[in-house]
């Protein structure tokens, strides 16, 4: 009898699951017309059910179907799910339907790829990804996925983002949290006022958020990260446990205490290494010199390798191990650097941060795991020294665009507290270029160009310095905006200062730099660094205008022309001022020479969408000014 009841129950579950998954109407004609506008894909249904089964365990069940309307949306049809020692993906099913909603095929399990998610060299391969390419291109079509994830270790709960991507609309998306009725979940719903439907059952409470018929958002230039202005629901446990390490994430202080527990006893170094470090810094004149010396020692001795085995996703291995092997991931290298500093009697702090040039800031009012990187800082009165431990090239104290201007979690003996990394000003994010061009009677020329890059420009152009000469030339041809030139010579020098400077020297042959028309030479003065592309006007802009970093560009262009020519027309000086920035273009004639000085400063800012067309007009003025011409007439 028990076996019969078991059989009937399971049969019912199979029928119920099959009905819910496969009874959907995926006919293209059932999509509301208003959702098709500007869309490359339509999410037909998304349901995420996350059942917390204890401090360590949870089961996540997902059903997700998306209709791909055209080639632009094909990447949205792919299945990409990461997993590790603490999460396992099971029961993956993928089915393709045609435009009429008729089943075309089920993707066989042997087409589900499974590979390491760690790029580059690693001895550890436990962070992995499941991947499916539908390999179907008959548009429109729908692909439906269902799968289960078993979690063993609950530092994170899933994030619900009902807006899937730019130009993707959604018919229905739902997130359901099932938790013990005596537990109160922590959640933060950004950019939304949606309240959960709460249902209390015998032993659990079910929280359900859902949203229907949301139109796609068109990607807009100068917009912030997608997650900054679209709804996303963050959830996190208060008490959690990973691999036997229990923590409390209700406060940043509590989360920091958990990190302290993970890092405890990892600062061991051999007596030999301690003696080496003390000898290295014995003649240093100040704290910065000592820190920089130790930092350079670490950079020369180690290399970055991703380590993601088990609790290794969060716990560094011992400093002695890094010292002996000469490699480690960001956590291990940060801990090693901190240990080396400690050997010299220098106090420092381990820091967790969300890294990435355009990464959105963490939500400081919602303590939780929001980090992907570790660095170190050294308190020095009012001048903290920040150390990016995975870069073999950065000078001590320089963060760069990977970790600048964002909140981070500093770990000290009391736990964790929020700090902010350095913000670089327009005076620090600077490109200063001096160009000397000597023209002949045919409009050809020789150019000598010297450029200094600092701040964000240093980060942008630094990669050229570690390439071979062939790649360097290709990058120069790509970066320099002259229409027709040959590279005669080039050179790069780095001043590894606290604010590093990249010096670039170029010698170029210019062909037809000036256009010859009868007895005239017409010179496009600012062609080396001019505005070539304008933002497009948009009367219905949705997102803010977001300029993450301020910059300054200063170009001095000295043109020497043949003595048998005179400057027939000198363009008028130009000055443009706006909340978005300021621009000037000034001309200084001297015999057969013309000096042009172009200065552009772009302000950091977060501006309302209503100002977008004003922003476009500002750039139109710059575009017009940059097209000033120098007219030379033969005597």
Domain match, 119 and 225 both: yes
Quick: pLDDT tens for 599-610: 999 999 999 999
Q: Is 210 domain-assigned?
A: yes
pLDDT of residue 20: 44
pLDDT computed for residue 310 by the predictor: 52
Distance of CA 598 to the CA centre of its chain: 31
Q: Do residues 379 and 302 both lie within one domain?
A: yes
pLDDT of residue 128: 84
Domain membership flag for residue 3: no
Give residue 388's pLDDT. 96
Q: Of the given ranges (17-26, 467-476, 541-550), which has the lowest mean pLDDT?
A: 17-26
**Number of neighbouring beta carbons within 10 Å of residue 370:** 21
Number of residues that this document lists for the chain: 635
Residue 540 placed within a domain = yes
CA-closest candidate to residue 473, choices 483, 461, 486, 460: 486
Are residues 450 and 409 both part of a single domain?
no
Q: Which of 179, 210, 237 is the last residue in one of the domains?
A: 237
- pLDDT at residue number 116: 79
| 75 and 214 part of one domain | yes
The number of C-alpha atoms within 13 Å of 511 and in the hemisphere containing its C-beta is 6
Q: Is residue 329 situated within a structural domain?
A: yes
Q: What is the mean pLDDT of the chain?
A: 91
Determine, yes or no, domain membership for 12.
no
202 or 504: which carries more pLDDT confidence?
Answer: 504
Would you call 191 helix, strand, or coil by DSSP?
coil
What pLDDT is attached to residue 4? 33
Residue 547: its H or E element: strand 545-547
Q: Say whether both 208 and 268 belong to one domain.
A: no
Residues 289 and 161 in one domain: no
Is 622 part of any domain?
yes
Q: Which residues contact 13 (CB under 8 A, 6 or more apart)?
A: none
Residues 318 and 204 in one domain: no
Which residues touch 523 (CB under 8 Å, ≥6 apart)? 439, 513, 514, 559, 561, 629, 630, 631, 632
CA distance 634 to 629: 16
Q: Of 183, 204, 237, which residue sits at a domain end?
A: 237
Number of domains making up the chain: 3
Mode of pairing for the β-strands spanning 327-328 and 303-304: parallel
Kindly tell me if the per-residue pLDDT of 72 is higher than 90. yes
pLDDT tens, residue by residue, 158-195: 999 999 899 999 999 999 999 999 888 899 999 999 99
- pLDDT, residue 569, reads 80
User: Tell me, what's the pLDDT at 5?
Assistant: 35
Q: Which of 219, 237, 255 is the last residue of a domain?
A: 237
pLDDT (0 to 100) of residue 161: 95
H-run or E-run covering 230: none
Identify whether 15 is part of a domain: no
436 and 343 belong to one structural domain = no
- Is the same domain home to 553 and 514? yes
pLDDT of residue 125: 38
Cα separation, 479 vs 528, whole angstroms: 9
Residues 137 and 168 in one domain: yes
Q: Identify the CATH number of the domain in which residue 285 sits.
A: 3.10.620.30
pLDDT by residue (tens digit) across 277-299? 999 999 999 999 999 999 999 99
Of 4-18, 103-117, 271-285, where does mean pLDDT reach its minimum?
4-18
What is the predicted pLDDT for the residue at 627? 92
CATH (domain of 48)? 2.60.40.3140
Residue 7 lies in a domain: no
pLDDT attached to residue 570 = 85
Q: In the prediction, which pLDDT does 497 show?
A: 94
Show the domain range for 559.
430-634
Which runs of E-coded beta strand occur in 182-321? 186-190, 197-200, 204-214, 232-236, 239-242, 245-248, 303-304
Mean pLDDT of 421-432: 97
Interstrand relation of 430-439 and 551-560 (parallel, antiparallel or unpaired) = parallel
If asked whether residues 314 and 412 sit together in one domain, one would say: yes
Residues 154 and 47 both lie in one domain: yes
The 3-class secondary structure across 120-187, one letter per residue, is CCCCCCCCEEEEECCCCCCCCEEEEEEEEEEEECCCCCCCECCCCCCCEEEEEEEEEEEEECCCCCEE
Beta strands across the sheet bearing 385-387: 385-387, 373-378, 349-353, 407-412, 415-420
CATH of the domain at 442: 2.60.120.1130
- Residues paired with residue 90 on neighbouring β-strands, in sequence order: 148
Query: What is the predicted pLDDT for the residue at 9?
Result: 33
Percent of the chain with pLDDT over 90: 83
Please write the tens of the pLDDT for every residue from 118-147: 643 233 335 789 999 999 999 999 999 999
């Amino acid at each position: 009898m028990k076996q019969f009841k078991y059989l009937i129950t399971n049969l019912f579950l199979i029928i119920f699951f099959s009905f819910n998954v496969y009874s959907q109407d995926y006919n293209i004609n059932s999509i509301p017309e208003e959702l098709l506008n500007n869309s490359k894909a339509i999410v037909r249904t998304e349901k995420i059910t996350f059942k917390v089964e204890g401090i360590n365990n949870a089961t996540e069940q997902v059903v997700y179907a998306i209709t791909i309307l055209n080639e632009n949306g094909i990447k949205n049809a792919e299945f990409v799910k990461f997993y590790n020692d603490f999460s396992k993906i099971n029961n993956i099913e993928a089915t393709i339907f045609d435009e009429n909603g008729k089943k075309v095929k089920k993707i066989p399990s042997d087409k589900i790829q499974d590979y390491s998610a760690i790029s580059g060299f690693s001895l550890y391969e436990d962070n992995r990804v499941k991947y499916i390419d539908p390999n179907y291109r008959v548009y429109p079509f729908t692909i439906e996925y269902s799968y289960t994830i078993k979690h063993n270790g609950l530092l994170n709960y899933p994030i619900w983002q009902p807006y899937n991507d730019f130009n993707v609309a959604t018919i229905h998306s739902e997130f359901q949290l099932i938790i013990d009725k005596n537990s109160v979940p922590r959640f933060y719903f950004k950019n939304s006022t949606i309240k959960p439907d709460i249902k209390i059952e015998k032993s659990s409470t079910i929280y359900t958020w859902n949203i229907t018929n949301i139109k796609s958002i068109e990607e807009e230039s100068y917009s912030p990260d997608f997650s900054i202005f679209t709804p996303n629901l963050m959830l996190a446990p208060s008490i959690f446990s990973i691999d036997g390490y229990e923590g409390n994430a209700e406060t940043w202080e509590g989360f920091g205490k958990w990190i302290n527990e993970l890092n405890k006893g990892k600062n061991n170094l051999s007596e030999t290494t301690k003696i080496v470090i003390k000898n290295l810094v014995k003649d240093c004149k100040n704290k910065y010199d000592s820190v920089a010396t130790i930092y350079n020692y670490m950079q020369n001795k180690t290399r970055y390798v991703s380590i993601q085995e088990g609790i290794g996703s969060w716990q560094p291995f011992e400093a002695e191990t890094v010292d002996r092997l000469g490699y480690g991931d960001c956590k291990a290298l940060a801990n090693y650097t901190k240990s080396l500093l400690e050997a010299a009697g220098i106090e420092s702090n381990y820091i967790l941060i969300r890294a990435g040039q355009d990464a959105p800031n963490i939500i400081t009012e919602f303590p939780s795991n929001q980090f992907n990187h570790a660095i170190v800082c050294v308190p020095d009165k009012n001048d903290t020294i920040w150390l990016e431990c995975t870069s073999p090239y950065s000078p001590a104290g320089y963060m760069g665009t990977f970790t600048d201007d964002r909140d981070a979690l500093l770990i000290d003996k009391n736990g964790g507290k929020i700090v902010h990394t350095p913000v670089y000003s327009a005076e620090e994010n600077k490109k200063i270029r001096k160009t000397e061009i000597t023209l002949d009677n045919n409009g050809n020329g020789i150019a000598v160009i010297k450029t200094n890059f600092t701040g964000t420009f240093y980060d942008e152009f630094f990669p050229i310095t570690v390439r071979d000469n062939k790649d360097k030339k290709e990058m120069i041809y790509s970066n320099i905006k002259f229409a027709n030139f040959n590279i005669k010579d080039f050179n790069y020098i780095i001043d590894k200062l606290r604010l590093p400077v990249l010096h670039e020297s170029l010698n170029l042959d210019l062909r037809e730099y000036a256009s010859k028309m009868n007895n005239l030479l017409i010179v496009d003065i600012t062609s080396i660094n001019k505005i070539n592309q304008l933002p497009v006007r948009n009367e219905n802009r949705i997102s803010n205008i977001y300029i993450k970093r301020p910059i300054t560009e200063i170009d001095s262009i000295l043109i020497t022309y043949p003595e048998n020519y005179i400057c027939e027309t000198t363009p008028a000086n130009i000055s443009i001022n706006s909340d978005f920035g300021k621009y000037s273009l000034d001309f200084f004639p001297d015999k057969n020479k013309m000096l042009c000085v172009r200065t552009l400063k772009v302000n950091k800012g977060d501006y309302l969408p209503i100002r977008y067309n004003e922003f476009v007009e500002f750039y139109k003025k710059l575009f017009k000014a940059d097209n000033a011409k120098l007219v030379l007439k033969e005597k």
